[in-house]
């Protein structure tokens, strides 16, 4: 048995390079969905999905190399991103500002991100 997938929406030129990670979350206060994308262009972008439309809310700068994973907290307006620059960054989704940067050393996007993700989001 094979799974069948189809494209429901496509955002042209969302990033200047390949997107490696996407996370979805709900914003009950605004009655919208939040989509966070991480790309090899070193950017994290925060999008609002509302009324069948995807609007860019924030373009978050800080990583020095490609962003390989992103996630959204289910309880707080916070996103996390990890990059090939060996940093985990926490972002405030309400104002688009960086909350914290953690220098985690080599291999960040595998082991350490999973540990921090578990502590922050579960």
Query: pLDDT tens, 76-87?
Result: 899 999 888 888
What's the rounded mean pLDDT across residues 88-98?
94
* 11: confidence class by pLDDT, cuts 50, 70, 90: low
Q: Cα–chain-centroid distance for residue 47? A: 10
Domain range summary for the chain, segments of one domain joined by +: 23-121
User: Is the pLDDT reported for residue 49 higher than 60?
Assistant: yes
pLDDT band with cut points at 50, 70 and 90 for residue 115: low
The Cα 18–Cα 9 span in angstroms is 17
23-121 CATH choice from 2.40.128, 2.60.40, 1.10.3470, 2.30.29: 2.40.128
| The two three-digit tokens of residue 43, written as one number | 């950017």
Residue 9 reports pLDDT greater than 60: no
Contact (CB, 8 A) for 99 and 44: no
Write out pLDDT tens, residues 65-74.
889 889 999 8
* C-alpha torsion sign, points 58, 81, 87, 121: positive
Confidence check: pLDDT of 116 > 80: no
């Amino acid at each position: 048995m094979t799974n069948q997938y189809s494209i429901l929406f496509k955002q042209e030129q969302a990033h200047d390079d390949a997107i490696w990670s996407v996370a979805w979350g709900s914003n009950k206060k605004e009655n919208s969905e939040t989509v966070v994308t991480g790309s090899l262009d070193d950017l994290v972008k925060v999008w609002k999905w509302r009324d069948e439309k995807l609007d860019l809310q924030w373009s978050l700068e800080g990583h020095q190399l490609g962003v390989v994973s992103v996630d959204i907290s289910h309880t707080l307006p916070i996103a996390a991103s990890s990059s090939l620059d060996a940093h985990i960054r926490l972002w405030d989704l309400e104002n688009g500002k960086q909350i914290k940067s953690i220098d985690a050393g080599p291999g960040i996007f595998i082991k350490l991100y999973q540990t921090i993700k578990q502590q922050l989001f579960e």
